[in-house]
Structure 1
Amino acid sequence: MFRSALRAASIRTPASRVPLVPTLCSAQRTLSLCLYRGFVSAYSPSKCPQCSAPLPTPLPACPKCQYIERVPSNAPYHELLGVETGFNPFAVDTRDLKRHFLQAQKVCHPDTWSRQPKEKQDVADHMSSLINEAYKTLLDPLRRIQYLLQQEGYEISEYDQLDDMELLVEVMDERELIDKAANQSEVDEIKSRNQEKIKATVAEIEQLVGDRDWERANQAAVRLKYLQGIHDAAQAWPNIDW
């Protein structure tokens, strides 16, 4: 069924193959980063501008004097959570990421500001949502590389297609095997086999990002998306919604 549909389908070149004015996007990203860095460092990277107490996170929120200031919605996620990336923004230590996330949420969670004026509550709610989104994006390898590609000017679409026919046939075959699986053991075998491919692809993406080879990283990200689809289908078995 899947193989027949595949052979009948034409493989188009997705829009994501071409960066969307990369020079302009890079300039906008740099400006956003500079604005955010200037925002939190205008007074000092580590002190509250109101009471001068040390701030527990990179965020402009002080638990001592209840000072809080809104950060831009497009603030870079790594900067927002204070996550060190070195030369490779894809190489994220997830344990360190979680630690920074919990620290940030402790400072900005709406419950912490529930007795403050509504204006401050609204700012805390905004920052808490932004922190949650940053954490979920950087935690998941697929969302992380898609985010980084967007920062580099690539358009990410759910309709992006593989240009590797052999791999696409393999993906469709695996999905068909899941659909026809008779028991959990068969599904687990498929899942285990697919997980090894996911690990290899994530490692490849990390290398490509480190090399600043964004075009090949983009292609690998599309491949990772298809492999993640197999994982999700295996997780949902037997209640699969194609």
Structure 2
Amino acid sequence: MHRLRLIAQPSTSTRSVFFIGKRMLHVSPQSCKRTQDTAPLYQLHARWPKANCPSCNAPLTTSLPTCNNCGYIAPLPSSSKVDYFALFGLPTVKTNENISETEDITRNAFNVDPKELRRRFLQLQKLCHPDRWAQKSPEAAEAAAGQSALLNKAYQTLLSPRKRGEYILSQHGVDILEADNMDEEQDLMLQVMEAREELEEAEGEEVKELLEVNRERIEKATMELENAIAYEDWEEAKRAVIRLRYWESFQRAGTQQDVDH
């Protein structure tokens, strides 16, 4: 069956903008509303379709190969083979390629609700927490420990806007070691050096003021990253990630200086 390919584009209006082929379509937010919070995790993503336990055939209620009914547990694949978004039942970074007919196709994968992410993280951790499996077989305990470790890594990655952006870029094969535009990177480095010099000379309230200015830089870079990912402009997303790296480093240094004094 032919499937229309919809790509979400940022918009300042109250109506979302999508492109179907070369045609533009406006869709109101109300028409895209989902009951995602009340659906089981395994139903929220095509990468983790509804599955049954291979031991007792009961339905698995999450993305984890872990069964509440009979106590079955199996190791997850290596981190590089697990989609972190799918693990938590969130829209994938490759939504346009893997959507089902009933899935939410309007969301920018970068937009993650931290509270909802934590709720899902705790739900999954409760299922595979190593203490719960400590008295089981060595294989079960090892599988639980592996699941728990990967969940923690995935959670920390998606919780941080910068790390989330880096992860999305890595899923699209984008190398973010350095900027392609050296002039732009040099301009950024100059800004960072000047800000560092100001920080070194600052004291008391001056440090707090510089940190507030830098929080605005971080917020701006985060918004630029969000928009770039929405448009699938990977080069701009890469540059935004690099900006975030520098300004987050500055924020850590300034915060430490404020604490020390």
CA contact (8 A) 2:179 2:239 kept: no
Once the two structures are superposed, the pairs formed by residues 56-135 of structure 1 within 5 Å of their partners are 56-73=61-78, 74=80, 75-84=82-91, 86=105, 87-135=107-155
Residue 48 (structure 1) shift: 2.9
CA contact (8 A) 2:130 2:144 kept: yes
For 1:55 and 1:69, locate their aligned partners in 2 and report how far apart those are by CA, in whole Å: 12
For 1:237 and 1:61, locate their aligned partners in 2 and report how far apart those are by CA, in whole Å: 46
Partner of 1:189: 209
Once the two structures are superposed, the pairs formed by residues 48-63 of structure 1 within 5 Å of their partners are 48-63=53-68
For 2:176 and 2:238, locate their aligned partners in 1 and report how far apart those are by CA, in whole Å: 9
For 2:168 and 2:236, locate their aligned partners in 1 and report how far apart those are by CA, in whole Å: 13
Partner of 2:102: none
Partner of 1:204: 224
Partner of 2:243: 223
Structure 1 letter corresponding to 2:54: P
Structure 1 letter corresponding to 2:84: Y
Structure 2 letter corresponding to 1:237: Q
CA contact (8 A) 1:81 1:101 kept: yes
Indicate the percent of aligned positions where both proteins have the same amino acid: 38
State the secondary structure of the residue aligned to 1:67. coil
CA contact (8 A) 2:133 2:141 kept: yes
For 1:170 and 1:105, locate their aligned partners in 2 and report how far apart those are by CA, in whole Å: 42
Structure 2 letter corresponding to 1:101: F
CA contact (8 A) 1:109 1:124 kept: yes
Residue 160 (structure 1) shift: 5.9
Residue 205 (structure 1) shift: 0.8
> 118, 138, 141: which is aligned to 2:158?
138
Structure 2 letter corresponding to 1:169: L
TM (normalized to structure 2)?
0.69
State the secondary structure of the residue aligned to 2:77. coil
> CA RMSD, aligned part only?
2.4
For 1:57 and 1:151, locate their aligned partners in 2 and report how far apart those are by CA, in whole Å: 23
Higher helix share: 1
Partner of 1:236: 256
State the secondary structure of the residue aligned to 2:206. helix
For 2:175 and 2:193, locate their aligned partners in 1 and report how far apart those are by CA, in whole Å: 25
TM (normalized to structure 1)?
0.74
For 2:115 and 2:247, locate their aligned partners in 1 and report how far apart those are by CA, in whole Å: 24
Residue 237 (structure 1) shift: 0.9
Q: Does 1:152 align with 2:167?
A: no
CA contact (8 A) 1:57 1:103 kept: no
State the secondary structure of the residue aligned to 2:191. helix
TM-superposition CA deviations, 1:53-74 (whole Å, max 9, x none): 4434211111231111122122
The higher relative CO (CA closer than 8 Å, separation ≥ 6) is in 1
Q: 1:78 to 1:66 in 2, by over 3 A?
A: same
For 1:124 and 1:97, locate their aligned partners in 2 and report how far apart those are by CA, in whole Å: 20
For 1:194 and 1:209, locate their aligned partners in 2 and report how far apart those are by CA, in whole Å: 23
Partner of 2:42: none
CA contact (8 A) 2:176 2:238 kept: no
TM-superposition CA deviations, 1:194-229 (whole Å, max 9, x none): 111111111111111011110111111111111111
CA contact (8 A) 1:137 1:147 kept: yes
Structure 2 letter corresponding to 1:155: D
For 1:155 and 1:102, locate their aligned partners in 2 and report how far apart those are by CA, in whole Å: 32
CA contact (8 A) 1:56 1:103 kept: no
State the secondary structure of the residue aligned to 1:61. coil
